[in-house]
Amino acid sequence: MAATLASLLGQASITDHDQVLSACETTLAKSKNDLQALQVKIVALLNLDRFQDAIATVEAGGEEIKQKARLEYAYALYKNGQPAKAAEVARQDSNESDRGLRHVEAQASYRHQDFERAAELYRKLSTQRGSVDNEDMDLRINTGATYAQLEWAGRASADAPQKPSREDMEAFETAYNAACQSIARDELGQAEVLLRRAKELCEASEMDQEEKDAEIVPISIQQLYVLIRQGRLDDAQALAATIDSKDVHAFHDSSTQFIAQTNTAATSTETTNPYLTHRTLYKTPSTILPDKPFTYQSAAIQRNNYTLDLLARKYDGIIRSTTSLAQTPTLDSATVSLSAFGAAAHARNQAGKEALKSVLPVLERRPNDIGLLLVCMQLYIHASNPAAAISLLENFFARLSSSSEASAQDVRYAPGLIGVLVSLYTSRGQQSHARSELAKAARYWRQHSNPPISSRALGHLYKSAGAALLESSVPADQQLAAELFTFLHEKDSSDRYASAGLVAALARANPSAIDAEKLSALTPLDRLVSGIDISALEFAGVAKSTPITATTSQKRSAPSDSVPATKPKSKKLKKSKTPKDFDPAKKLDPERWLPIKDRSSYRPKGKKAKARQAMFMQGGAVAEDSGAGSGASTPAAQVVEGKSTNKKSKKKGKGGKW
């Protein structure tokens, strides 16, 4: 077999894969079970980008060739757009030291959006030095791309760097990936700097001009997106004019072409016809997205579709497509955002109370739709009715709390929804309610073994809960604050906020646990006050502190006769608030705000009024009930009524004719 293979390879040059393929076909025609010739044929097909033929050759060769050519089979599946199956085939190999299969599995997992598995594989591969040229650089590039995708997906890795390193500035690929991470974290200013650096490095590279043009296009498209997000539409239009559509169509897939068209359309500052814009973007719907964009890209494209449909007043179509979005509570941001478009369609692009009248009945029919819930809350807040917004979210939380499903509890304590409620409580001064919600959410997630949310979101929740619980006087709250800050400090000892919170929590819960190591993480007091000039502060008018002695009285002393008391300045009334006969020289009656009958100058007229006043006077005569000897006083109304009755009976008793 070795001699056959040697003669086969001797008939072809190293770079002519067509000749290699022809020689393999000749050999296999004589011996169908020649596994080595079959494997060479598969490699030749891969080099010729005939991935479907390579897959068919492997599957027709039986299990033996699948085992022998596992790397080639997995790679062909990956290149043919079957990443899930490619990752499965590569994972079947028990030999973890096979770097080729691990690379293919990592790439396939990345394309399959299993970013956690891809990041794990790249970390393992990076622990050992690469066996081929530039492998270490490729690992750095691919790891950076994986971290960026985890940021976009809201599942940021704890190992991901929070700031770009110096190594990221050495190649345009790493700078570009660091910029993508910054965009996902909404650090747009930093992303713009990194993208400019990536473009400079690409221009200065040793690639030929055609390769440079191909690499600069996605960098420019990303720059365009950043400028649009920053609201710098004039700069975005100038950049869009420099992007050559020929380069976009010549070097890139249809997804990149579509994103370039969308970003260019978004730079327009003039009011355009939404029907024409829709026609321009979707003139070839069959070839828009054959590359299966990532989930966050698909969600953005769908939002753009709905935006154009709203502008074109296609309300009924949006309502039909969003009706079945949220049958159960979900934390998927794409689904929640699309529900907001459904609410806008129901409201017919109206706002305020008119929109509430249209959206609230929809929320009653779909009580689990978080997007609709948040839209209604926002409308209530715009209508200056935050109490109604709070009531909506509290009722939603109450329904979720009574549910037995674990997913419902995850939604109940989602950091985003907790943040909304806490913000509303804080705006109304309900600090105890806010503290209680933060504490319940922190306790829930501390008991959760595998949280379905990002570690960054949990970190923000724990910090907010810990800071709020530090103000509580309840020992259980103080203990929870200490646990939260201890967890955050152990996770990242360089986090000064966590270090300061830990010291503050232990100072109240367990002072003996504070050691020199924890204190050393804080900024020394001398450094904090080193730039303060005390003399300058006193000269500027800062009052000096006076020591309080035992004989010093804190009460305000009465004005002495020798020092005349300063007369307070009288406020000048506005003309619109003064009556016509108002005399500023005349002293106002201090009892003018009291009812007339309660003023000291009130003098009743008539026997009834005098009798009524006498009954309410302190020390006045008390009428006694003749029938009871208890001495209980009779109400004034009864006394008056009794007198008038007696009077009438006397008249009646005379018996004379009129």
Q: Counting beta carbons within 10 angstroms of the beta carbon of residue 469, is it exposed (0 to 12), middle (13 to 18) or buried (19 or more)?
A: buried
The enclosing H or E element of 500 equals: helix 496-509
Across 357-384, b (16+ Cβ under 10 Å) vs e yields eebeebbeebebbbbbbbbbbbbbeeee
> Does the pTM of the predicted model rise above 0.85?
no
pLDDT of residue 543: 67
Residue 467, SS3 per DSSP: helix
Q: How far is Cα 300 from Cα 55, in angstroms, rounded to an integer?
A: 34
Q: How far is Cα 591 from Cα 460, in angstroms, rounded to an integer?
A: 57
CATH classification number, 163-292, choose in 1.25.40, 3.30.450, 3.30.420, 2.60.120: 1.25.40
**CA count, 13 A, side-chain hemisphere, 12:** 20
Secondary structure (H, E, C), 277-298: HHHHHCCCHHHCCCCCCCHHHH
pLDDT of residue 549: 54
Confirm if 282 and 244 have CB atoms less than 8 A apart.
no
Across 594-617, b (16+ Cβ under 10 Å) vs e yields eeeeeeeeeeeeeeeeebbeebee
Q: How far is Cα 336 from Cα 371, in angstroms, rounded to an integer?
A: 4
Residues 6+ apart with CB under 8 A from 387: 428
- Tracing tokens 């154009």 back to the chain, one arrives at 308
Q: How far is Cα 627 from Cα 302, in angstroms, rounded to an integer?
A: 89
**CA count, 13 A, side-chain hemisphere, 108:** 26
Q: Counting beta carbons within 10 angstroms of the beta carbon of residue 580, is it exposed (0 to 12), middle (13 to 18) or buried (19 or more)?
A: exposed
CA distance readout (Å), 629 to 395, 483, 633, 643: 59, 71, 11, 20
pLDDT of residue 421: 94
Q: How far is Cα 322 from Cα 598, in angstroms, rounded to an integer?
A: 65
pLDDT of residue 653: 44
Confirm if 71 and 38 have CB atoms less than 8 A apart.
no
Give counts: helices (H), strands (E), the chain: 34, 0
Q: How far is Cα 493 from Cα 522, in angstroms, rounded to an integer?
A: 11
Q: What is the DSSP letter of 354?
A: H
Q: How far is Cα 265 from Cα 291, in angstroms, rounded to an integer?
A: 21
Confirm if 491 and 466 have CB atoms less than 8 A apart.
no
Confirm if 301 and 308 have CB atoms less than 8 A apart.
no
pLDDT of residue 261: 78
pLDDT of residue 625: 47
What phi and psi values does residue 332 have, to the nearest 5 degrees?
-70, 115
Mean pLDDT split into 10-residue runs, the chain, 658 residues: 55 68 84 84 90 90 87 91 90 75 91 90 85 84 90 75 84 92 90 92 88 87 90 88 72 72 77 76 53 77 86 87 77 82 87 87 88 91 92 92 84 91 93 93 87 80 90 86 87 82 81 74 79 82 61 54 58 73 78 81 76 62 47 41 44 42
Look up residue 391 and give its two tokens: 């009531």
Q: How far is Cα 445 from Cα 461, in angstroms, rounded to an integer?
A: 10
Residue 633, SS3 per DSSP: strand
**Position 79: which residue type?**
K
Q: What is the dihedral of CA 616, 618, 620, 625, to 10 degrees?
A: 60
Domain ranges for the chain: 163-292
633 strand-pairing partners: 624
Look up residue 572 and give its two tokens: 């000048």
624 strand-pairing partners: 633
For 98: left if phi > 0, alpha if psi spans -120 to 50, otherwise beta; the answer is: beta
* Residue-level length of the chain: 658
Strands in 268-420 per DSSP E:
none
Distance, C-alpha 405 to centroid of its chain: 24
Look up residue 147 and give its two tokens: 């971290």
Question: Hey, how many other C-beta atoms are within 10 angstroms of the C-beta on 122?
Answer: 25
CA distance readout (Å), 36 to 15, 16, 545: 19, 18, 93
Nearest Cα residue to 612 out of 582, 587, 643: 643
Q: How far is Cα 192 from Cα 307, in angstroms, rounded to an integer?
A: 26
Residue 241, SS3 per DSSP: helix
Confirm if 615 and 639 have CB atoms less than 8 A apart.
yes
How would DSSP label each residue in 568-626?
Answer: PPPPPPPGGGS-TT--TTSPPPTTTTS-GGGSTT----SHHHHHHHHHHSTT----B-T
Angle separating helix axes 333-346 and 295-311, nearest 10 degrees: 10
Nearest Cα residue to 304 out of 348, 341, 336: 341
What phi and psi values does residue 307 have, to the nearest 5 degrees?
-65, -45
pLDDT of residue 4: 59
Confirm if 106 and 115 have CB atoms less than 8 A apart.
no
pLDDT of residue 638: 41
Question: Hey, how many other C-beta atoms are within 10 angstroms of the C-beta on 216?
Answer: 21
